């Protein structure tokens, strides 16, 4: 079974994150064991993303969500890093500005949807408006509850009107693994900049966040924009799974470089002429 089928959340199903083994790593034993397959997937991504840019008929939106420490930044570094920066944009959505709060919740997101030929990565996304706002009661329930339907329709718009493929990854880690990663941030000077006052305070709301994630995953995994639940306690397995799913999705677009817009024979004639002048 390919990993897209293994980890895709079936539309209409009810997600129970307590039943997920965040430490799952398939038949792979360790980081060294995945390297051959990982590099193959990254090579495929690199080649196909350049073709996507040239083809200019499709676009790709990658959504990364997960509890604090789940590895959203690491996924960008290790997987998205295989792409050519030309044609790729990474955007995060955190606390809205005053201006953004004066508009509907999707107003700040839509301008960052990928144009044809491009890839957009949302490192945190429009789903924050049914996650953090719910957990911290920033808006009433009758405001955030209808947003699931609005999100589904907005994603359907991108798919149907802009030929966008949407891949949404929930990076699943255990509560124990999160604490271990926070400890690494404290001990490693290169990571201390990532330490936040909210890291440990938000852990107190772990169960509330899990309920909010379960609702979003259950209500918003659709045929046109599925969620993939990625076991992420092992970073190396996370990278393998995400890279395979992205590479397979790009291949499914049947991308082709566009035909030349110039007379190739004339260009060859000019080339030979210039070559003789040297």
pLDDT per position as a tens digit, 145-187 = 999 999 999 999 999 999 999 999 999 999 999 999 988 888 8
For residue 86, pLDDT over 80 is answered with yes
- Give per-residue pLDDT as tens, 215-257: 999 999 999 999 999 999 999 999 999 999 999 999 999 999 8
pLDDT, residue 270, reads 77
pLDDT, residue 79, reads 93
> Residue 118's closest CA among 195, 60, 203?
60
- Give per-residue pLDDT as tens, 31-84: 999 999 999 999 999 999 999 999 999 999 999 999 999 999 999 999 999 999
Q: CB–CB of 11/223 below 8 Å? A: yes
For residue 195, pLDDT over 80 is answered with no
Identify the CATH number of the domain in which residue 168 sits.
3.40.50.300
Helix intervals (H) in 168-234 = 175-187, 198-203, 206-220
What average pLDDT score do residues 88-117 get? 95
For residue 263, pLDDT over 80 is answered with no
pLDDT, residue 198, reads 75
Domain count along the chain: 1
* 278 band by pLDDT with thresholds 50, 70 and 90: low
For residue 189, pLDDT over 90 is answered with no
Phi and psi at residue 144, in whole multiples of 5°? -80, -25
pLDDT, residue 276, reads 75
- Give per-residue pLDDT as tens, 129-147: 999 999 999 999 999 999 9
Cα gap 174→90, rounded to integer Å: 26
Domain that holds residue 226: 3-277
Neighbouring CB atoms inside 10 A of 23's CB total 15
């Amino acid at each position: 079974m390919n990993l897209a089928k293994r980890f895709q959340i079936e539309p209409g199903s009810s997600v129970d994150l307590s039943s997920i083994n965040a430490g799952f790593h398939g038949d792979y034993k360790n980081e060294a064991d995945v390297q051959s397959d990982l590099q193959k997937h990254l090579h495929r991504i690199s080649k196909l993303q350049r073709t996507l840019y040239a083809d200019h008929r499709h676009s790709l939106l990658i959504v990364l969500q997960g509890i604090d420490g789940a590895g959203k930044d690491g996924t960008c570094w290790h997987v998205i890093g295989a792409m050519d920066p030309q044609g790729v944009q990474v955007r995060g959505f955190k606390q809205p500005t005053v201006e953004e709060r004066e508009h509907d919740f999707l107003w700040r997101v839509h301008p960052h949807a990928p144009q044809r030929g491009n890839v957009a990565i949302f490192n945190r996304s429009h789903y924050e408006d049914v996650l953090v706002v719910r957990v911290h009661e920033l808006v009433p329930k009758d405001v955030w509850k209808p947003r699931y339907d609005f999100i589904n329709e907005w994603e359907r718009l991108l798919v149907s009107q802009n030929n966008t493929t949407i891949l949404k990854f929930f990076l699943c880690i255990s509560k124990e693994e999160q604490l271990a990663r926070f400890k690494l941030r404290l001990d490693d000077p290169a990571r201390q900049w990532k330490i936040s006052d909210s890291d440990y305070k938000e852990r107190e709301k772990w169960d509330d966040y899990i309920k909010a994630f379960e609702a979003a995953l259950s209500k918003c995994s659709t045929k046109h924009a599925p969620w993939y639940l990625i076991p992420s306690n092992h970073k190396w397995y996370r990278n393998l799974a995400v890279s395979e799913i992205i590479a397979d999705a790009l291949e499914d677009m049947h991308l082709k470089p566009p035909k030349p817009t110039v007379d190739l024979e004339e260009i060859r004639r000019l080339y030979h002429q210039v070559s003789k002048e040297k």
